[in-house]
Amino acid sequence: MVLFFPSPIQKAVTGNERFVFSYDREETGHLGLLQRMDGVDSNLLVITTDGKMYAHIISYTASLPKMNYFINEGEQ
């Protein structure tokens, strides 16, 4: 799943090692890629360069209704 944030990503962390959130750490960008193996739910915390934090509960599903998600500032 691809997540697009309103500001470039500075840091990101998942609460479970079975989730992987990848983003460009050298050249800040707005997009991150979330990958997952089946298992328990977890959380995702993303901090953008403007200091805003986005926290989401994440879970595995075998099929996705859509592949791209645009995160709005109101979803902090």
Residue at 26 is within a domain: yes
What span, in angstroms and rounded, lies between the C-alpha atoms of 52 and 19? Answer: 22
What span, in angstroms and rounded, lies between the C-alpha atoms of 76 and 60? Answer: 21
Residue at 60 is within a domain: yes
Number of domains composing the chain: 1
Residue at 52 is within a domain: yes
Residue at 18 is within a domain: yes
Residue at 16 is within a domain: yes
Residue at 23 is within a domain: yes
Residue 53 CB partners (closer than 8 Å, separation 6+): 45, 46, 47, 76
34: containing domain: 2-64
What string of pLDDT tens digits covers the 76 residues of the chain? Answer: 999 999 999 999 999 888 999 999 999 899 999 998 777 899 999 999 999 999 999 988 888 888 899 998 875 4
What span, in angstroms and rounded, lies between the C-alpha atoms of 48 and 59? Answer: 22
Q: What is the pLDDT of residue 48?
A: 96
